[in-house]
Amino acid sequence: MDPSAQHSFCGLPYELSNFQGHFKCEPSVIVGRPSDRQQLANLVKAYPKVKAVGVGHSWWRQNFCSGVNSSAINIVTTELAETLPASQGKPERTISVDEEAMTATVAAGVTQRTLLRFLDNYRTAKSPDGYTLAAFSWFIDQTIAGAVATATHGSSFKHASLSHQLRGLTLMDASGSIRSITPSSDPHLWRAASVSAGRLGIILDVTISIVKNTAVRRSKEDISTEEFVTSLQRLQEDYKAAAGPAVAASSGAANQDGGNATAAAAGGLGSISPLASYAVWQAVKSFDEVQLFWFIPSRMLWRVTFERLTDGLSDEEAAKVMAADGPSNGLPEGAHAQMKVNAVGTGIGIDVAPTYWSDQYRLYLSINVVPGVYPARESYVSISEMENKLYAAWNSYDQYEVAVPLSKAGDCLGAVTKELYGPAQRWRGFRSPALVRFIRAEHSYLSPAVGEAVMYVNIEDHLSYINGNTNEDFQAVLRVFRSPVCGPARLHWGKAGWPQHAQCFDGAAEYPKTWCDFGCAVHQLDPTGKFSAEADRDIWQWSATDSSTGQRVADAGSCCSSSGFDHARCKCASRTDCSKE
C-alpha cells in the first residue's frame, strides 16, 4: 500500500485482519512474509493450508483466512523483494511497460494507486501525457492481485473489470510450481485464473492493458430516485430487446432453466452475432462509464458521466469490444506469528440522523465529481489517499456489493426502492451513498458478470458496529437484492455478505454454466484443497450427475477434461449436503 494511504489500524502485514482491524483470523494462524519466490515455494509446500493476501481491503473472513490453526499460513505478497521497491517509492523496479503491446506487467503486491501513478508519469514521445488503465475502481489502494482475484471493477460496459483487462498472469500453484497463463496458452485455466478468489494459488504478477491518458470530460447532474428507476426500466427493456429471446426469457421466472438461457444470451459467452452485439451496444451505450452516487436518505442521486475527447472508440469498435472474447521463531524462513493490532472504533453520532449524514457525505464527496475536462486518470472518479485515510480510520463499516443482471436492473431497483421508501422506511439504515456502476458480460468463470452484463450496486452498513446489533433495515434491502426479482444478484468476491447472504452457497445454481469448470481448474491446480481456506465446506464444493444415467457421480473431478468440465458427459449439480430450510 502507498504509505501515505495507511493508518495504524490496518492489520497487515503483521496481523491477519482487514484494513480496519476487523474480520480477524485465529491468532494461531501463521503470517508468511517471504522475501523471494524460493522462500515462498518452500512455505507453500510446507503448510497444508495456504492463502495469498494483499492489504486486507475486503470483508470475508472465511475466504481470507487460510485456516484456523498453526498448520495454516497466509502469505502476504507486499513483502516480496520483487514488490517492496514500489512501496519504497521505486515502482520502476516492479512495473514494466510495453508501449508496442500497450500493456504493463506489475508485481502482485503493488497497489492499483501506485500502478496508476506510475503510468500517469510514464511520458514518452508516443504518449506525452502518459498512460492509464482503461477502467479502474473507485477505491485504488488494494493490491493489483487482490483486485483481479475478486473481479474488482469500476464502471465500463466496454472495458469491464480489471480481470477482464488482463492479458496474462503468473501463478504459484499448490506444488510450488510457477505457471504463466494467458488467454491463448490455456483458455480454460485463463477463465479460471482471471477471477479466482485466491482459490487456485498465489498470483505473482499480472500483465494488464493500458491506454493513453487522454482528455476526458466529466459531467454531473442531479436526478431523483423516480427518474433513476424509470431510466433503468428503459435500459432493461432496450437491453432485453437487443439481446434477444434468451435474455428476455431468463428474466421471467427466476432461473427456471437453471440459468442456461441467461448464460447463453447476447452480450454473453461469445455466442452472439456481431449484429446482435452492435444492437446491444446501442441499447446500453448511454450508460457506458456512468457512475451513480445514490444518497438514499436524501432521495436523490448524482449521475456522473464521462466523455473521452480524443482516441475514443467508434461505435463499431465499441460493439466489437462488447462481442469479443475476453480475455525465525521456530517457523520456516519467512513465516511469523501474528502481532495484535487494535480495530477502528465507531463514529460519534453516526447512529442517528440519517438524512444529516447523507447530506454530509454529499458535501465531502462533491470534490470528487466536479465537472470539467481532465486527463483520464483524474476524470474517472477514485478516492484520494487523504479521503481513504479519513474514512477508514473514522468509523467501522462493512461494504457489500451485488451484481444485478442487466435484464432485471429496472425491476430490481423498483423492488428495492419500494423496500426503502415503503411502509418499513428502510432508508433509515443507510448513511453513505450507494454507488451504482455497469459492466459488460465477462468470460471469467467466477466473474459476477459471467454470461450477462450487470449493474453493480455497492452499499455500506455503518451502524452494526455501534452496539453489535444487526442493522435490520440494511439487511432487509440486501435480502431483496438476493431474491429472484434481482437475479438473485451475485455477491462480490471481496466484500461482505458471506456467509449470511449465501447460506448453503450453491455454486451450480449461482454460476450454472461455469461453476464446475472452475471446479475442474481447482482439481488440476490444487488437488488437495490447500487454497480452500476456512470457506472450504461452505463455498468450494462441486457435485455432478452423469448425463446419460442421471446418477450422482462419486468424484466430480472425473467429469473434467483438459479444457474444463465435460458438459456433454456430466451435468453440474446442486449440492445435497446442506439445506437453507
If the CB atoms of residues 32 and 244 are measured against ligand FAD, the closer one turns out to be 32
Task: Give dist(CA 443, CA 461) in Å, integer.
Answer: 31
At closest approach, how far in Å is the CB of 519 from ligand FAD?
17
Interface with ligand FAD (CB under 6 A), residue from 107, 195, 202, 477: 202
Q: Which of 9, 19, 157, 302 contacts ligand FAD by CB under 6 A?
A: 19
Contact with ligand FAD (CB under 6 A): which of 34, 54, 259, 405? 54
Q: Cell triple for residue 481? A: 437484492
Q: Which of 13, 67, 168, 198 binds ligand FAD (CB under 6 A)?
A: 198
Work out which of 80, 149, 416, 454 binds ligand FAD, going by CB under 6 A: 149
Asked if residue 197 binds ligand FAD (CB under 6 A), the reply is yes
Tell me if 146 contacts ligand FAD by CB under 6 A: yes
CA torsion angle 65 42 152 67 (round to 10) = -10
137 sits near ligand FAD (criterion: CB under 6 A): yes
Q: Which of 53, 86, 296, 520 binds ligand FAD (CB under 6 A)?
A: 53
Question: How far is residue 445's CA from residue 479's CA, in Å, rounded to a whole number?
Answer: 25
**Is residue 152 a contact point for ligand FAD (CB under 6 A)?**
yes
Given a contact cutoff of 8 angstroms between Cβ atoms, the answer to whether 336 and 329 are in contact is: yes
What is d(CA 227, CA 302) in angstroms, rounded to the nearest whole number?
Answer: 11
Which 3 state secondary structure label does DSSP give 383?
coil
Asked if 164 touches ligand FAD (CB under 6 A), the answer is: no
User: Residue 466 and residue 279: Cα distance in Å, rounded?
Assistant: 49
Runs of H (alpha helix) within 285-353 = 315-323
Stretch that binds ligand FAD, among 52-60, 286-294, 357-365, 545-553 (CB under 6 A): 52-60
- Which CB sits closer to ligand FAD, 172 or 559? 172
User: Among residues 10 and 235, whose Cβ is nearest to ligand FAD?
Assistant: 10
Binding flag, residue 6, ligand FAD (CB under 6 A): no
CB-nearer residue toward ligand FAD: 24 or 240: 24
Smaller CB distance to ligand FAD: residue 108 or 420? 108
Kindly give, in sequence order, each residue whose CB lies less than 8 Å from that of residue 241, ignoring residues fewer than 6 positions away. Answer: 248, 283
Backbone angles phi, psi at 36, to 5 degrees: -145, 175
The vertex-305 CA angle with 101 and 268, nearest 5°, equals 60
Answer yes or no whether residue 203 interacts with ligand FAD by CB under 6 A: yes
Quick one: three-class SS letters along 135-158? Answer: CCCCCCCCEHHHHHHCCCCCCECC
Q: Which is nearer to ligand FAD, 272 or 491 (CB)?
A: 491
Restricted to residues 445-484, the positions that interact with ligand FAD (CB under 6 A) are none
State the nearest-atom distance from the C-beta of 261 to ligand FAD, in Å. Answer: 27
- Stretch in the footprint of ligand FAD (CB under 6 A) among 79-87, 144-152, 183-191, 323-331: 144-152
Grid cell of 309 as nine digits: 475527447
Beta carbons within 8 Å of 454's beta carbon, 6+ residues apart: 403, 404, 405, 406, 438, 439, 441, 448, 490
For residue 166, the cross-strand partners are 208
Give the up-direction half-sphere exposure of residue 229: CA atoms within 13 A in the CB hemisphere: 14
On whether the CB atoms of residues 533 and 51 are closer than 8 A, the answer is yes
- Contacts with ligand FAD by CB under 6 A lie at 19, 51-58, 63-64, 77, 108, 137-139, 142-143, 145-147, 149-150, 152-153, 197-198, 202-203, 399, 494-495
